[in-house]
């Protein structure tokens, strides 16, 4: 029923996984996703391991919208891991999946991310622009660039975004 797949175990068939998942009471599923995600990030190399990183953030992203399930430290950690998972997805040419990770990372940022988590926020927004551009999501490119340019703290940060806007308009 279950097979070892690298550092994790996986069900031998999707129907087995679905049937087992349906046995878990609905109100216990999101806390279980959090527990799994948090346990996966105990590996210090999680951000460098594409499979482990995406597995961990997929678990957290499935429960991140639940009120107060993540504390601020966990939210920051998983925002960074979503950035790493998005970069791994770009390397695999999976731009839509990468955009999903960047958007999830943005949603996990602090209430005032440009003040509290500037570098992480800037990188998530820039990567969101890049994959949206590559995937033809014009509305996302324009709105994200506007946000970056209105919050850029340095000339270098603004220049990079202006260069992306020039490519977008060309």
Among 50, 46, 41, residue whose Cα is nearest residue 94: 50
Q: What is the pLDDT along the chain (170 residues), one digit of tens a residue?
A: 778 877 667 778 888 888 988 999 999 999 999 999 999 999 888 999 998 999 999 999 998 877 788 999 999 999 999 999 999 999 999 999 999 999 999 999 998 999 999 999 999 999 999 999 888 888 889 899 999 999 999 999 899 889 988 887 87
Can you tell me the distance from the alpha carbon of 50 to that of 47, in angstroms, rounded to the nearest whole number?
7
Contact 110, 75 (CB under 8 A): yes
pTM: 0.88
């Amino acid at each position: 029923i279950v097979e070892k797949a690298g550092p994790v175990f996986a069900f031998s068939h999707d129907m087995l996984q679905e049937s087992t998942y349906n046995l878990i009471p609905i109100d216990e599923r999101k806390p279980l996703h959090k527990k799994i995600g948090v346990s996966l990030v105990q590996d210090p190399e999680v951000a460098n391991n594409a499979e482990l990183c995406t597995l961990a953030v997929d678990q957290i992203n499935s429960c991140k919208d639940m009120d107060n399930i993540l504390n601020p430290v966990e939210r920051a950690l998983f925002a960074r891991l979503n950035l790493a998972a998005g970069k791994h997805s770009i390397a695999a040419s999976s731009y839509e999946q990468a955009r999903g990770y960047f958007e999830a990372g943005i949603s996990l940022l602090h209430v005032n991310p440009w003040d509290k988590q500037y570098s992480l926020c800037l990188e998530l927004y820039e990567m969101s622009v890049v994959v949206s551009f590559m995937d033809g999501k014009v509305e996302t490119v324009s709105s994200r660039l506007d946000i970056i340019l209105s919050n850029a703290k340095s000339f270098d940060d603004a220049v990079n975004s202006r260069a992306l806007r020039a490519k977008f308009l060309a």
